[in-house]
Amino acid sequence: MVPVLFGLGHRVSGARFILSLDCEGKWGVADHLGAFENRALTDERLRSAYGSIVALLDEFDLPATFAFVGAFTQSQRGFTRVADKLKVLGPKPPYLRQVLDAIAGNGGDGWHGRDLVELVRSAGTSHEIALHGVTHVPWDAVDRTFARAELDLFGELEGPIRDARTFIYPRNRVAHVDVLKEHGFAGFRTARARRTRLGSLAAELNLLARPQPPATGDGVVPIPSGYFVNWRHGGRKLVPPAITAKRAALLLERAAEAEAVVHYWLHPENIATAPDTLQVLRSIVAAAARMRDAGRCDVLTQIEYCRQVASSPARHELT
Residue 202 vs residue 119, higher pLDDT: 119
The residue extents of the domains of the chain are 4-311
> 15 pLDDT exceeds 90?
yes
**23: Cβ–Cβ under 8 A, 6 or more apart, which residues?**
50, 66, 67, 68, 69, 72, 113, 116, 132, 267, 268, 269
**2: Cβ–Cβ under 8 A, 6 or more apart, which residues?**
none
Instruction: Quick: pLDDT tens for 146-173.
Output: 999 999 999 999 999 999 999 999 999 9
pLDDT, residue 177, reads: 96
pLDDT, residue 90, reads: 57
DSSP string, 102-134: HHHHHTTTTT--HHHHHHHHTSSS--EEEE--S
Give the whole-number percent of the chain exceeding pLDDT 90. Answer: 74
Contact assessment for residue 46 and residue 116, using Cβ atoms and an 8 Å cutoff: yes
With b for 16 or more beta-carbon neighbours within 10 A and e for fewer, the 45-68 pattern comes to bbeebbebbbebbeebebbbbbbb
Q: How far apart are CA 149 and CA 146, in angstroms?
A: 5
Three-state DSSP state, 308: helix
Query: CA torsion 127→132→133→135, rounded to 10°?
Result: -100
Q: How far apart are CA 231 and CA 79, in angstroms?
A: 30
Residue 312 vs residue 178, higher pLDDT: 178
Contact assessment for residue 30 and residue 99, using Cβ atoms and an 8 Å cutoff: yes
Mean pLDDT computed over 202-222: 87
Question: For 4-311, which CATH superfamily applies?
Answer: Glycoside hydrolase/deacetylase (3.20.20.370)
pLDDT, residue 193, reads: 77
Mean pLDDT computed over 96-112: 86
Contact assessment for residue 156 and residue 191, using Cβ atoms and an 8 Å cutoff: no
Write the secondary structure of 229-273 as one string of H (helix), E (strand) and C (coil): CCCCCHHHHHCCHHHHHHHHHHHHHHHHHHCCEEEEEECHHHHHH
Query: CA torsion 46→133→131→103, rounded to 10°?
Result: -30
Instruction: Quick: pLDDT tens for 276-307.
Output: 999 999 999 999 999 999 999 999 999 999 99
Instruction: Quick: pLDDT tens for 299-313.
Output: 999 999 999 998 875
> 26 pLDDT exceeds 80?
yes
What confidence tier does 318 reach under pLDDT thresholds 50, 70, 90? Answer: very low
At position 255, the amino acid (one-letter code) is A
Beta bridge partners of 299: 17
pLDDT, residue 91, reads: 53
Which pTM value belongs to this model?
A: 0.92
- Backbone phi and psi for residue 110, each to the nearest 5 degrees, phi listed first: 90, 0
pLDDT, residue 53, reads: 98
Three-state DSSP state, 298: strand
pLDDT, residue 250, reads: 97
Low-confidence winner among 99-108, 172-181, 203-212 (lowest mean pLDDT) = 99-108
In this structure, the strands spanning 10-12 and 4-6 are antiparallel
Cis peptide, bond prior to residue 214, ω within 30 of zero: no
